[in-house]
Amino acid sequence: AKGMREYLESKILQALVQEFNRLRKPIGAICHGVVLAARSCDQHSKSFLFGRKTTALLASQELMAWALTCVWLSDYYRTYKQTVESEVKSVLASKSDFVAGPLPMLRDSSKKLNRGFVVRDENYLSARWPGDAHLFGTEFLKMLS
């Protein structure tokens, strides 16, 4: 939703992502949050995600949510004209560093973690959508211990 823009465009949060990475602290992002990671650039204008594997909200998910709700909510689910997947891929070292995972059909749960999908690359963990949140939380907790 457009309300996410303040968070995604925050220079303060982008600098914190870089600082957490410098300190090797765990960094996690789900859905549109991966855009914040993508926009977090170092002093050489390289994205935090450059050279990392990641996932994010898939274009197919984003466009389907918009198509199913646009009659009632207009452009509510289109945060930007460019999809999350497209923006994230644009900052990666290789398009193959974006991992889409299996078709997201069902939400995960604490008892059905196998429905979720995450990608971990060193101190960074990403997930595609809130339907991956239980697995994401479980894996992020492991990173904290």
Burial class (CB in 10 A: 0-12, 13-18, 19+), 88: buried
For residue range 75-115, list pLDDT tens digits in order.
777 889 999 999 999 999 999 999 999 999 999 999 999 99
Q: If pLDDT is split at 50, 70 and 90, which confidence band does 144 have?
A: very high
> Tokens standing for 42?
């170092």
Q: How many distinct helices (H) and strands (E) make up the chain?
A: 6, 3
- Residue, of 145 and 49, whose pLDDT is higher: 49
- Name residue 84's amino acid: V
Yes or no: say if 127 and 30 are a contact pair by the CB < 8 Å rule. Answer: yes
Neighbours of 38 (CB within 10 A): 25
- When computed from its CA atoms, the radius of gyration of the chain, rounded to whole angstroms, is 15
For residue range 37-78, list pLDDT tens digits in order.
999 999 999 999 999 999 999 999 999 988 888 888 887 778
Q: What pLDDT, on a 0 to 100 scale, did the predictor assign at position 137?
A: 98
- 7-36 average pLDDT score: 97
How many CA atoms lie less than 13 Å away from 28 in the CB half-sphere?
17
Q: What are the Cα distances from residue 60, in Å, to 36, 124, 129?
A: 20, 24, 12
